[in-house]
Structure 1
């Protein structure tokens, strides 16, 4: 049998439990009981970019992954270390939450996070953070390399160039000058962070390839500073005949 005694002037509750002729007296803090019943918010353990995967990026609404949170709690994303400038929120699934930010303007951002219990208890702002620089124009490829043939010189007049450091959904084109005005390929759509682009037919000699990207809304990057050289040598066919 449990008898509950409540007093309005007390900041705690007392409960009496009769077990085997003995009385057990428990003093409980109602606030602590609420925290135990509803969960205690904790500081997120890590914050990372999910889309785009790198910074700088051209997405004005990047997707951020917050880990080390509590299933079912609301996770907030902020642009300041006191977690007062909200950029979005999502409910945690398992120990992580995926949050798409509100629309950002061009500039530098540092993302922090916290979590809030189902009863509105807000946790401390995270000590960890993730940096993101928004550049509204897409970035050019960060590296170019020969893919086929794998070395230069070669006898293939339409070499394949692998471009790296691009974003899925961007189109990549090759050029033969550092201003990216002389196109030497059609555009190729990237499905990951690298894409192989086949050049148009080349004349004999050395070509230095550069590249630039175009995003889904037709914004064009600057020309890449990265480049790769390829020397096309026309194959020599030697005819011979047997002398009898």
Structure 2
């Protein structure tokens, strides 16, 4: 026989009777659905107030797989919830079960022990208020087992709608990587061979000797006499 995990019961608001219903189902009490993060739940407990039902109708669930179930608990001054409100939440959940109010449980410091004993007794042997609760409880148990929720290792996820606009997160802009110019070798020409250029050298007269120097005044005087 395949063993299924215990269902997880989560309350949509405080005072919805989540702990009492979890004890009656012998399920796991998942506490209150708080924050804006996703919450895993097989059964969501919601009071019959119109505001709470409208809030439950806005919960989003994954499009694939079985959806969680909704348990609507009546309060002291609540009449049966309007059919239009129940139809709105039925589109979000796999099934909706309405639970009557048990006045004596509200007078007890801890009603979980009494709630845990409801399934162990035939409904026709219970008092009238508990009898209606037992019928609703058995209907919820049948819906949970028939939905296939407990075949999955974890409950499905539910998310709350956001009332504040999403703020755009700062995005880091990646700057293009500046690449250095590729190295290009510069071609250096080889040195040209130096060709020697011949420079003409002026002819130099031979240096006069001593006899020529002594004869120079004599030649100069003879030339002057001829000119006179």
TM-score, length-scaled by structure 2: 0.18
TM-score (norm 1): 0.17
Between structures 1 and 2, the one with greater helix share: 2
Higher RCO structure, 1 or 2 (CA under 8 Å, sep 6+): 2
**Bigger share in strand:** 1
Asked which structure has the greater CA Rg, the reply is: 2
